[in-house]
Amino acid sequence: MTGWILRLVLIWLVVRALVKLVRGILDGVRGAVSPPPAVPLVRDPVCGTFVVPAKSLSAGTGSQIRFFCSENCRRIFQAKLAR
């Protein structure tokens, strides 16, 4: 009784593997996998962490704007400028 169940499971695994193989080949031929768009990063001047400008904290104006990963880094930078 368990023999036919094992055969059925084995057949299912082989068919599934073949389907995945064929899909992978077709995706590669069509170039379906495209890389995500690049996001420009800026470096935090205090700790050196790279951050996305749109999601980071900032200080300054115009060309003197600096981007920070955290409020703590921004505070340290502003304290150094105040000296």
What percent of the chain has a predicted confidence (pLDDT) above 70? 96
Residue 17 identity = A
Of residues 28 and 22, more confidently modeled: 22
The pTM of this model reads 0.55
Q: What is the pLDDT of residue 82?
A: 82
Q: Check whether 18 has a pLDDT greater than 90.
A: yes
Taking the CA atoms of residue 59, residue 61, residue 64 and residue 66 in that order, the dihedral angle to the nearest 10 degrees is 20
| Predicted confidence (pLDDT) per residue in 34-59, tens digit | 778 899 999 999 999 999 999 999 99
- Strand stretches in 1-83, DSSP E: 42-43, 50-51, 57-59, 66-68
